[in-house]
Structure 1
Amino acid sequence: MKILVTGAAGFIGYHLCERLLKEGHQVVGIDTINDYYDPQLKFDRLKELGIKPEEATIWKKQCQSNLYSEFKFIRLEIQDRNEVPKLFKLHGFDLVCNLAAQAGVRYSIENPETYVDTNITGFLNILEACRHYGVRRLVYASSSSVYGNSEEVPFKESQSVDKPISIYAATKKSNELMAHTYTHLFGIETIGLRFFTVYGPWGRPDMAMFLFTDAILKGKPIKVFNNGNLSRDFTYISDIIAGVSSVINNEYNKRSVIFNMGNSRPVQLMSFIAALEEQLVMRAQKVMMPMQDGDVNQTWADVSALHDEFGYAPKVSVNKGISAFVDWYKYYYKV
């Protein structure tokens, strides 16, 4: 297939592009490469895909990979109402995987406009382009954050998600509603994936795994929110990519649907820190902090629906995942 991957320089986007290219698909990737976190990490991910950083910096330039003949990259905002339709018209995509979004829960409290611009206006622009240029299938990233502080665990797709507690979560819930509407009105098949705390090599610097590893190795204290009384369904990147690949490569006839995509084995934050300390052979200096606005107490994915439809079965334990991340971190930062 000819596939558009938005957010291609992002953590999940980079890994997905690599997987799809190895499967033999043609892939066009777009990304804004913004400075929410260090853009150098994004350029280095693209370099792994054969895109020269000096070319990727140029807006609207189509860059050809020197590693994958079927990969092209363009620096572009998904909310660009002039260039995105041109891109769709030029390439005639068979499928779109929308991973582009302004990420981060806490950042959304201080910068809500950025989230509306990218996550809502940008997503609408992608939906409109799919509508007008004959794309019949859209796979898109939602988030476990839509469940808010639900105490009904494990989280099931059938339960109410009408009480988001961050702007980020509200925009992701909006995406799900917009996708459903476009399916109803225009027959576009839309599949939303609620990702649960994705981690692993090339991961985001604003996530706990990265923040904790960086601080511990540098002898700096780590902030432990809600005094450590949190749990997360940490999901390793290879399990996420295997799941997304299955959704992309297999037919599905229910037109509009949402799936959880997690590890389905929640880990207490203090146990997670202990496992990281063991891998680093170093003790963390912990600063106990109150709960942060927008954060949730727990996440736990019921993935039975995704397993039943696409055979999704996460394989990587948290201990193995932490070990792989630490190895990558030390290699990348030459620690």
Structure 2
Amino acid sequence: MTTCLVTGAAGFVGSHLCEQLIARGHRVIGVDAFIPYYPRPLKEHNLAHLQGAPLFSFHELDLRTADLAPLCREADVIFHLAAMAGLLRSWREFDTYMSCNILATQRLLDAARQEGIEHFIHISTSSVYGRFATGDEESPLAPISPYGITKLAAEHLCQAYAENFGLAVTILRLFSVYGPRQRPDMGYNIFIRKILNDELITIDGDGNDSRSNTFIADCVQGILLAFERRDVSVGQVFNIGGGEEVSVNQVLAILAELSGRQPRITHGPPRPGDQRRTVADIRKAQQLLGYQPTTGIRDGLRAQLAWQRANMHQER
């Protein structure tokens, strides 16, 4: 049994990861600061299936200020998912993004180094590539938002600790994750919520921006493979994404069909710092880790739609 420290445990990806680690017989120490990026009750709801589980314990603390040594002393592996997400807000609140994404990561890395953590798995983002994220892990890194810039800085910190102190680090760049528990500020959650409530949807730009979306179960599979295949994942960077590229307009058409409701749509200007096209090149993860996403966009959207219908009261 491995003891796993998961930061951002109350979040979208973090809560799913905790559940799967416990299902595999590992002990999980969850950490979250409940920074009010979105309502706390939604995050607490994400933890509902974990509370009371014999292999799960939870600590509400802020990585930027807390004493992290005691937590790291208990753990064998760290999954670092905690971060300040979102493009638009990063233009307005750079200090928060800098402290949450850079300072918090540095403090956790330093505690991990001092306490002899066996494996530090850092969760990054396709936003580090810039406006077009279509190549492999060796592609140029040119983020075009403060969010992407701070996430790239966090990657560099991980690599610096690996180079200078021998910390065993793996970096995973996630591509457009969706599915049940998706954050309420994310596109598909907004689209579904507004379709179900018959509200006007504002598309940023022409709707032809495209993503190779990653269903949450496939995303977690990739993270677990990096953990389980430590022999090949340490020292590596992997793209973790889905295999099916769709545009915003195509997603809305699928949701209209699945929901039986026609969305009401208007268009606004493109968001500054938004990516025009992301297509996850996952060949490296496939070859080294055996990663293979299996959920197509239609099945994934059907699952998210069902979850949001069942939890509409939580989203209000």
Asked if structure 2 preserves the Cα contact closer than 8 Å seen for 1:157 and 1:258, the reply is yes
Alignment of 1:138-149 (within 5 A): 138-149=120-131
Instruction: Give 1:5's aligned residue.
Output: 6
Matched residue SS, 1:120? helix
Match of 2:47 in 1: 46
Match of 1:122 in 2: 104
In 1: Cα distance, 2:214 partner to 2:194 partner: 22
Matches within 5 A, 1:1-335: 1-50=2-51, 66=52, 68-80=53-65, 82-89=66-73, 91=74, 93-150=75-132, 154-161=134-141, 163-253=142-232, 255-333=234-312
- Relative to structure 2, which stretch is displaced further, 246-255 or 192-201? 246-255
In structure 1, C-alpha distance between the alignment counterparts of 2:217 and 2:233, rounded to whole Å: 26
Deviates more, 1:248-257 or 1:39-48: 248-257
Asked if the contact 1:231/1:299 (under 8 Å) is kept, the reply is yes
User: How many angstroms apart in 2 are the aligned matches of 1:154 and 1:144?
Assistant: 9
* Deviation string, structure 1 residues 15-42 (Cα, Å, up to 9, x no partner): 0000000000011000011221121110
1:27 counterpart letter in structure 2: V
Cα distance in 2 for partners of 1:14, 1:255 equals 24
Structure 1 residue runs without a partner (length 5+): 51-65
Looking at structure 1, the residues matched to 247 and 57 of structure 2 have their Cα atoms a distance apart, in angstroms, of: 41
Distance in 2 of aligned mates of 1:38 and 1:279: 28
Which amino acid letter does the alignment assign opposite residue 70 of structure 1? L
Q: Contact 2:226 / 2:233 at 8 angstroms: preserved in 1?
A: no
- 1:104 deviation in Å? 0.5
In the TM superposition, residue 285 of structure 1 has moved relative to its aligned partner by 0.9
**Bigger mean CA deviation after superposition, 269-278 or 11-20:** 269-278
Distance 1:48 1:254, change over 3 A: closer
Identity over aligned pairs, percent: 33
**Residues 286 and 292 of structure 2 are in contact (CA less than 8 Å); yes or no, is this contact kept in structure 1?**
yes
Distance 2:81 2:70 in 1: 20
Tell me the distance in 1 between the aligned counterparts of 2:92 and 2:40. 20
SS in structure 2 opposite 1:83? coil
Which runs of 5 or more residues in structure 2 are unaligned? none
Q: SS of the residue aligned with 1:104?
A: coil
d(CA) in 1 for partners of 2:3, 2:201: 44
Shift of 1:269: 1.1
Residues 171-222 of structure 1 show CA distances to partners (whole Å, capped at 9, x for unaligned) of 1111111111111111111111110000001111011110011111111111
Whole-Å separation in 2 of the counterparts to 1:255 and 1:329: 37
Post-superposition offset of 1:253 = 4.6
Counterparts in 2 of 1:331 and 1:254: CA distance versus 1, 3 Å: closer
The structural deviation recorded for 1:106 is: 0.9
Contact 1:187 1:255 in 2 (8 A): no
CA shift in 2, pair 1:254/1:17, >3 Å: closer
CA contact (8 A) 1:223 1:286 kept: yes
Could you tell me how far apart the structure 1 residues matched to 2:135 and 2:255 are? 26
1:188 and 1:283, CA in 2 relative to 1: closer, same or farther beyond 3 A?
A: same
Following TM superposition, where does structure 1 have runs of at least 4 consecutive aligned residues deviating by more than 4 angstroms?
Answer: none
Alpha-carbon shift at residue 79 of structure 1 (Å): 1.3
Residue 86 (structure 1) shift: 2.7
> Residue type matched to 1:307 in 2?
Q
Q: How far apart, CA to CA, are the structure 2 residues paired with 1:190 and 1:332?
A: 37
Instruction: Report if aligned partners of 2:170, 2:233 keep a CA contact under 8 Å in 1.
Output: no
CA RMSD between the two structures: 1.3
